[in-house]
């Protein structure tokens, strides 16, 4: 176990690429910032997994059904691992985190506050949203100062990369399909483009503790820009129109510049009053309540096994 | 064109990586069972699925086909999955085991013993038989307090 006599000493350790482990006596504020960040990530994986789950019966064909099923397991599995890391920080138990989520008292990513209307929305999530998540997770993983989180992110990133590959294949199917299929994705893109821009977060605060302590390693603006440079040309190449009338290429640098972002929708999702927040949270709550008998049975079975052993 | 060297064909197939474990090959994982080169450079590859419901099966088969097709002299390539012998974590090579532990914090139970890929403690506790994928369970090391994943049989 390591301990630091002052915050300055801790920050010097962080600045020298030190990795903090759960057994270390970390500064309280580092612990709370880290906890909030991982709790939100865990909540988002869970809410994302539930979105995915809704499409298992509706996926077109057996191959897509298998893919959707596996992706649901991935997201729920990621949430499980992340809740373990978060709970280990000793601020809230896993049950407390879930209770706060189901009571609308904690946050999850803005993109899961919107309604999924069609299969094309599901493809937009697999292709656009997963890529946005991957962009931010890679930036966290690159030099994250917290050991257990970094180790999980390595696997999460590998799995999200595989989802994107599936997402791109599903997108190609729609892009190269009939006019109706093409239009279906265009409509989904019209719905999801701005939420994805919001996903990277509002303009950076000055002295962001998450950056300072290497809980993440790039600003929201930098990550959004990285994403725009990569995905605008790809969407154009597939023949889609990005729903931003002010989107243009800077004549000097050749870089894509997006129009002004309206932050009101992001504020609504952060306050859990987005377009589909109430229904999403209620559905998650109902699922948790209805599955309580499974948890009870598992616990009873484990207790019996222990008694016998 | 002359027939391709069997070793070159096998090496091409063996270098294909698992899509969810970048840098770890299907040979490391014991998924590559057999590669045969017949007359006319016709290649047949036999793979063992870790789990039948694995969503990566088609992707791996496609990657193997593409990798083998780049070897000069190769004609038709067919890749199939066998259901016997069954894949088990014992098939993972020593190199595969080391890479899974060091790079992905994934452990393999050997002779009923499990050691933590982070701190090597053997006090690892099982948490859930279900993890993010069909082939992995979740465990926890109370020594270093890391959640880890364990390859399932």
Residue range A216-231: average pLDDT? 95
Classify residue A242 by burial, with Cβ atoms within 10 Å: 0-12, 13-18, 19+.
middle
Distance from CA of A72 to the nearest CA of B (A): 9
Mutation target vs A (from B147, B148, B149; most A CBs, 10 A cutoff): B147
Chain A residues near residue B136 by CB distance under 8 angstroms: 77
Mean residue pLDDT of chain A comes to 94
Encoding tokens for residue A3? 């301990």
Q: What is the domain partition of chain B in residue ranges?
A: 6-81, 89-151
- List Cα–Cα distances, A79 to A73, A85, A124, A206, A269, in angstroms: 10, 10, 21, 30, 20
Cis peptide before A146 (omega within 30 of 0): no
pLDDT over 90 for what percent of chain A?
A: 86
Residue A2 placed within a domain? no
Please say if the pLDDT value at position A309 is more than 70.
no
φ, ψ for residue B30, nearest 5 deg: 75, 25
pLDDT band per the 50, 70, 90 thresholds, residue B12: very high
Residue pair A119/A184 in contact by the 8 Å Cβ criterion: yes
Residues A277 and A115: their CA atoms lie apart, in Å, by 9
Question: A118: domain range?
Answer: 7-308
Partner A contacted by B131 (CB < 8 A):
yes
CATH 3.30.300.130 applies to domain B6-81: yes
What pLDDT, on a 0 to 100 scale, did the predictor assign at position A306?
A: 75
Look at chain A and report how many structural domains it folds into. Answer: 1
What pLDDT, on a 0 to 100 scale, did the predictor assign at position A49?
A: 95
Please state the separation of Cα A75 from the chain's center in Å. Answer: 9
Residue A44's nearest CA partner among A119, A125, A124 is: A125
Distance from CA of A93 to the nearest CA of B (A): 15
Contact A151 B146 (CB under 8 A): yes
Tens digit of pLDDT for each residue in A176-203?
999 999 999 999 999 999 999 999 999 9
Chain B residues near residue A94 by CB distance under 8 angstroms: none
What pLDDT, on a 0 to 100 scale, did the predictor assign at position A153?
A: 94
Question: What per-residue string of b and e applies to A186-219 under the rule 16 or more CB within 10 Å gives b?
Answer: bbbbebbbbbbbbbbbeeeeeeeebeebbbbbbb
pLDDT over 70 for what percent of chain A?
A: 99
Tens digit of pLDDT for each residue in B132-145?
988 899 999 999 99
What pLDDT, on a 0 to 100 scale, did the predictor assign at position A253?
A: 96
Chain A residues near residue B58 by CB distance under 8 angstroms: 63
What pLDDT, on a 0 to 100 scale, did the predictor assign at position B137?
A: 95
pTM of the prediction?
A: 0.93
What pLDDT, on a 0 to 100 scale, did the predictor assign at position B110?
A: 84
What pLDDT, on a 0 to 100 scale, did the predictor assign at position A205?
A: 85
The β-bridge partners of B148 are B139
Instruction: Provide the CATH number for the domain around residue A212.
Output: 1.20.1260.10
**Number of C-beta neighbours around residue A58 at 10 A:** 13
Nearest CA in chain A to B22: A158
Chain A residues near residue B19 by CB distance under 8 angstroms: 161-162, 165
Residue A201 — left, alpha, or beta (φ > 0 → left; ψ -120 to 50 → alpha)? left
Tens digit of pLDDT for each residue in B72-82?
999 999 999 99
Tens digit of pLDDT for each residue in A36-71?
999 999 999 999 999 999 999 999 998 889 889 999
pLDDT band per the 50, 70, 90 thresholds, residue A304: confident
pLDDT band per the 50, 70, 90 thresholds, residue B85: very high
**What is the four-CA torsion angle of B45, B50, B53, B57, rounded to 10 degrees?**
-30
Chain A residues near residue B149 by CB distance under 8 angstroms: 81, 155
Q: Coil, strand or helix: which one is B149?
A: strand
**From A134-143, A219-228, A285-294, B60-69, the region with the lowest mean pLDDT:** A134-143
Chain A residues near residue B133 by CB distance under 8 angstroms: 70, 73-74, 77, 159
Partner A contacted by B128 (CB < 8 A):
yes
Please say if the pLDDT value at position A308 is more than 70.
no
Residue range B86-100: average pLDDT? 95
Tens digit of pLDDT for each residue in A230-255?
999 999 999 999 999 999 999 999 99
Question: Could you say which of B22, B118, B138 has the minimum Cβ distance to residue A158?
Answer: B22
What end-to-end distance do the CA atoms of chain B give, in Å? 43
**Number of C-beta neighbours around residue A286 at 10 A:** 11
Nearest CA in chain A to B101: A151
Residue pair B139/B149 in contact by the 8 Å Cβ criterion: yes
């Amino acid at each position: 176990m390591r301990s630091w006599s002052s915050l300055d000493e801790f920050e010097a350790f962080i600045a020298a690429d030190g990795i903090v482990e759960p057994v270390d006596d970390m500064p309280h504020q580092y612990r709370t910032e880290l906890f909030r960040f991982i709790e939100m990530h865990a909540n988002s994986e869970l809410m994302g997994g539930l979105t995915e789950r809704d499409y298992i019966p509706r996926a077109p064909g057996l191959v897509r059904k298998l893919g959707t099923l596996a992706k649901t397991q991935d997201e729920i599995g990621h949430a499980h691992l992340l809740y373990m890391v978060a709970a280990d920080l000793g601020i809230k138990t896993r049950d407390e985190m879930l209770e706060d989520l189901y009571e609308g008292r904690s946050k999850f990513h803005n993109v899961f506050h919107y309604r999924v209307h069609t299969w094309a929305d599901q493809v937009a999530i697999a292709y656009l949203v997963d890529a946005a998540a991957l962009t931010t997770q890679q930036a966290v993983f690159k030099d994250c100062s917290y050991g257990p989180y970094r180790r999980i992110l390595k696997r999460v990133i590998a799995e999200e990369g595989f989802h994107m590959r599936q997402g791109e294949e599903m997108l190609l199917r729609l892009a190269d399909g009939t006019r109706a299929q093409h239009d279906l994705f265009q409509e989904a893109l019209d719905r999801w483009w701005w939420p994805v821009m919001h996903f990277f977060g509002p303009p950076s605060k000055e002295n962001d503790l998450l950056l300072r302590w290497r809980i993440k390693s790039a600003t929201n603006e930098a990550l959004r820009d990285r994403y725009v440079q990569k995905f605008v040309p790809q969407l154009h190449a597939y023949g889609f129109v990005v729903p931003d009338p002010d989107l243009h290429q800077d004549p000097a640098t050749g870089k894509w510049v997006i129009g002004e972002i309206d932050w009101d929708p992001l504020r609504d999702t952060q306050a859990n009053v987005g377009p589909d927040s109430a229904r999403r949270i209620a559905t998650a709550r109902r699922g948790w309540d209805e599955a309580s008998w499974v948890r009870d049975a598992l616990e009873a079975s484990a207790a019996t096994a222990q008694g016998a052993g | 064109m002359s027939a391709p060297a069997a070793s070159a064909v096998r090496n091409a197939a063996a270098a294909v990586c698992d899509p969810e474990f970048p840098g770890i090959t299907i040979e490391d994982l014991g998924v590559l069972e057999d590669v045969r080169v017949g007359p006319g450079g016709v290649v047949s590859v036999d793979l063992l699925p870790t789990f039948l419901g694995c969503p990566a099966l088609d992707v791996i088969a496609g990657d193997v086909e593409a990798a083998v097709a780049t070897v000069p002299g190769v004609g038709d390539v067919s890749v199939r999955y066998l259901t016997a012998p069954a894949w088990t974590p014992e098939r993972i090579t020593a190199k595969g085991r080391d890479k899974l532990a060091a790079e992905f914090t994934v452990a393999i139970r050997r002779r009923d013993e499990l050691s933590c890929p982070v701190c090597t403690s053997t006090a690892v506790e099982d948490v859930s038989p279900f993890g993010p994928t069909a082939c992995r369970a979740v465990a926890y090391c109370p020594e270093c307090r890391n959640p880890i994943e364990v390859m399932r049989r």
